Structure 1
Amino acid sequence: MNRNAFTESLTKEGFPDAVVVTREANAEMAVHEHPFEAKALILEGEMSIRVGDEERAYHVGDVFHLLPHKPHSERYGPNGVTYLVGRKQ
């Protein structure tokens, strides 16, 4: 998905303004959860998200969606990752 289409979809789904997040190369975030719904578009690099026993890799153009209070962990690729994310309560 491209950035404009993604931003339009966030607006239609009631997400407030999106923000750009950058994570460093080869870093990890242990299991955690957020009090908000998150929907993000990968702009650069790659990352993997593990929910329960399932891990999925995301690359440029991919979109991930996490519901509030969903425990998950994150791993960032060899070049890190930059994504555009909308968050709503």
Structure 2
Amino acid sequence: MNEAEFEAKLRADGFTEIETQTLEPRPAKGEHGHPFEIRGLVLAGTFIVTQENHQTIYKPGQVFAVAQGHPHDESIGPDGARVLVGRKFVNA
């Protein structure tokens, strides 16, 4: 899936905040949650998400997702990462 297709899919699925982020390498931030659902497409580098004590390494072309409020941690691989992310806000 290319960037345009992914962005169109995000919009169709109700994601309203969509942006491309360039991230420097960094260790985990610490477990946290967000007041929104997040879905992202890795464009370059490595993006690592840990949920429920399970670490998943995402590489270019792979999609990650974290549910609204779900505890997770994230880190960026040694070469950094570039990701196209969408945020979907749902009233609780």
TM-score if structure 2 supplies the norm length? 0.88
User: What residue number does 1:19 align with?
Assistant: 19
User: What residue number does 1:54 align with?
Assistant: 54
Matches of 1:17 and 1:68 in 2, distance apart? 14
User: What residue number does 2:44 align with?
Assistant: 44
Matches of 2:45 and 2:10 in 1, distance apart? 21
Once superposed, which parts of structure 1, at least 4 consecutive aligned residues long, lie more than 6 Å away?
none
Structure 2's unaligned 5+ residue stretches are: none
* Structure 1 residue 28 displacement after superposition: 2.3
**Which structure has greater strand proportion?**
1
Question: Size of the alignment, in residue pairs?
Answer: 89
Matches of 1:49 and 1:23 in 2, distance apart? 14
* Structure 1 residue 17 displacement after superposition: 4.2
SS at match of 2:69: coil
* Structure 1 residue 22 displacement after superposition: 2.2
Structure 1's unaligned 5+ residue stretches are: none
Q: Which amino acid aligns with 2:49?
A: I
Matches of 1:55 and 1:19 in 2, distance apart? 24
**For the structure 1 residues 17 and 34, does the alpha-carbon distance in structure 2 shift closer, same or farther, using more than 3 Å as the test?**
closer
Share of identical aligned residues, percent?
A: 35
Does the 8 Å CA contact 1:26/1:79 hold for their aligned counterparts?
no
